[in-house]
Amino acid sequence: MTATRESEVRVGLVYPELLGTYGDRGNAVVLVQRLRRRGIPATLVEVAAGSMIPASLDVYLLGGGEDNPQSAAAEGMRASAANIEQARAAGAVVFAVCAGLQNIGTTYETGHGEQIDGLGLIDAVTVAGTDRLIGEVVVEPDAPLPLLTGFENHAGRTRLGAGTEPLGRVRVGGGNGDGVDGVLGDRILGTYLHGPVLPRNPALADFLLEWVVGPLPALASPLEEQLRARRLHVALAGPVGRFRERLHLARG
């Protein structure tokens, strides 16, 4: 069975020069390829830093970055806020990772005390903590999804406002810093999971795509599932599992 769609899906990678520190470009590639493998036309659209973000995209991907690039990206996003709102009103999806998650909230305060205004797409405030949260993460989603695996490296502590739902509960790692990770709303999903997260979690990629194109036929993903199982095993095994993995990699 092959899904059909009258027009191609435009997957937008927003400001990759600023929000591409942790390989989150891979998320855009996965979305495009999983559509194409089902016979659905799709294209990756890169929105260069300093340019207006168009209202014509179906998916807006916002990746991770350090404080200065994040601040520059936030300025460009605010200048394009009307276009993003227009796209969302037409059914577009926003997927935001780490700095991207912080930038779709209301404010982010850096470790130097600078306050960055976000897009305000979600009710969330982030403040830089005194230490960084680094390592493997396992999240048990509130959505109908399997356990999610990823890697985090951030200082931000994100507090969701009343009525704003997280992506899920943290089984391993830090996430938002209060036992949950990310945010899950109306065609908007944010997380602290890198990896990149979508190559690690094909079900999450399809979850996002179904917001755009509707129900999708099953797609065999044996290599992706092997990767997911391996990362879950290592993370859930705790320090001993991670030590064994490092030993195995050192031996080749």
User: Known catalytic residues?
Assistant: 98, 194
User: Measured between alpha carbons, how far is 181 from 141 in angstroms, rounded to an integer?
Assistant: 9
Q: Which of 126, 141, 61, 46 has the alpha carbon at shortest distance from 97?
A: 61
Tell me the chain's radius of gyration from C-alpha atoms. Answer: 18
| Residues with Cβ within 8 Å of residue 235, at least 6 apart in sequence | 136, 137, 138, 149, 172, 173, 241, 242
Angle at which helix 25-36 crosses helix 202-213, to 10 degrees, equals 60
Q: Which two tokens stand for residue 205?
A: 């990629």
User: Measured between alpha carbons, how far is 128 from 30 in angstroms, rounded to an integer?
Assistant: 30
| Residues with Cβ within 8 Å of residue 155, at least 6 apart in sequence | 111, 128, 129, 130, 131, 132, 133
Helix (H) or strand (E) holding 124: strand 124-141
